[in-house]
Chains A and B, each alone.
Chain A
């Protein structure tokens, strides 16, 4: 079951986005945010929304997330990918503001570091902060992926109920992992196979999770 704030860290093509989608498979009201507009643009079974951003706001019309969610305020089920092509931080802030009013949904953000890079506590926009800190009051579940944990804002990391660590070799990422797991597991991070992760969560010890090997496929991985 998905926690109220979950993160997936790891290098590219290690299976973190596929794992996040797998964890979200049973969520009836799901909003997926895509800043890369590549593999997720072809995701089947989802609606796709391409907002037009102009002068700090969304251009009204059928491409606006506002119109999409206005029609689905009472919907029991929807799954949508919102593709942002620019101004990631501003647009995620606007989306969080809108989704707090929609309520009762899961918000999944791919490449979270592009939206909320590291900075001081005050550098995080208010609606994003609110969604991550007190989103559960509006029924919001928040999750996201990132390649380098140290480049994701510390409020996201410190409030995460569960973090899944996929293969990573970057020095600062390994340093960050030491706060969450024993040294032996940290040492295993650079050599983890695809789909295998170290899961850390509140109230339970870290463990190596190989349960998804052969059950999920990495999105858009080039053939070798």
Chain B
């Protein structure tokens, strides 16, 4: 007696037509506009060329480490494969990763929330630590330059002293 139908058998509205007629459009439009559209600048996660090159190189680096160093790719070899890898990774980012994330989020909501929170924390800390490292690197560089200059000045002064003594 009870079977499902998506289209009204009497020739009336389909479910989606009926749904649209009873759902507030303004809010629906706002929600729809908030949905990420591929190709819109600033809203799409774009795979960079250097990431694709690094991925290709890392695959062969692993083989090189396991088997023989001659497996290591040259720049020319990397450049021939990297564009294909970039397209593939972009497809993952656009299509497969969001689906997998959505599925994971719906099945393991607590773990997803924790992972997201840890991810944000790691990203924030990484940026903070990177800045500190940069500052420390600049200070170390200046210190080394200063020490080198002091050494050079001391050696030239010593040389001047020796020349004066010799004279």
What 0/1 pattern do residues 1 to 19 of B give for CB contact below 8 A with A? 1111111111011110111
A173 adjacent to chain B (CB < 8 Å): no
Instruction: Find B24's partner among A54, A69, A100, A137 (CB 8 Å cutoff).
Output: A54
Q: In the complex, how many residues of chain B place their beta carbon closer than 8 angstroms to a beta carbon of chain A?
A: 26
A18 adjacent to chain B (CB < 8 Å): no
Interface residues of A in 122-142 (CB under 8 A from B): 134, 137-139
Q: Is the CB of B22 within 8 A of A138?
A: no
Q: Known interface pairs A60-B31, A100-B12. Does A139 touch B1 (Cβ–Cβ under 8 Å)?
A: yes
Q: Is the CB of B19 within 8 A of A66?
A: yes
Q: Is the CB of A103 within 8 A of B27?
A: no
Looking at chain A, what size class is its interface with the partner chain? 20 to 34
A89 adjacent to chain B (CB < 8 Å): no
- Count of A-B contacts judged by CB separation below 8 Å: 82
Distance from A54 Cβ to chain B, minimum over Cβ atoms (Å): 6
Distance from A178 Cβ to chain B, minimum over Cβ atoms (Å): 35
Give every chain B residue within 8 A of A104 (Cβ-Cβ). Answer: 1-5
Q: Is the CB of B14 within 8 A of A101?
A: yes
Instruction: Find A103's partner among B5, B19, B21, B23 (CB 8 Å cutoff).
Output: B5
Q: Is the CB of A103 within 8 A of B9?
A: yes
Measured CA separation A98–B27 after assembly (Å): 19
Give every chain B residue within 8 A of A75 (Cβ-Cβ). Answer: 4
Measured CA separation A102–B18 after assembly (Å): 9
A38 adjacent to chain B (CB < 8 Å): no
Measured CA separation A46–B137 after assembly (Å): 65
Q: Known interface pairs A57-B25, A59-B24. Does A97 touch B18 (Cβ–Cβ under 8 Å)?
A: yes
Instruction: Find A98's partner among B3, B18, B25, B26 (CB 8 Å cutoff).
Output: B18
A73 adjacent to chain B (CB < 8 Å): yes
Q: Is the CB of A137 within 8 A of B18?
A: no
B-binding residues in A (CB < 8 A): 27-29, 54-55, 57-60, 64, 66, 69-70, 73-76, 94-95, 97-98, 100-105, 134, 137-139
Closest 5 CB pairs of A and B: A57-B24, A101-B18, A94-B22, A101-B15, A74-B4
Question: Can you list 15 A-B contacts with CB-CB less than 8 angstroms, sorted by A residue number?
Answer: A55-B26, A57-B25, A58-B22, A58-B24, A59-B27, A70-B15, A73-B4, A73-B15, A76-B4, A97-B18, A101-B17, A103-B9, A134-B10, A138-B8, A139-B2
With A60-B31, A101-B7, A101-B13 given, name 10 new contacts (CB 8 A): A60-B23, A66-B22, A73-B5, A73-B15, A76-B2, A98-B19, A101-B12, A101-B14, A103-B4, A104-B3
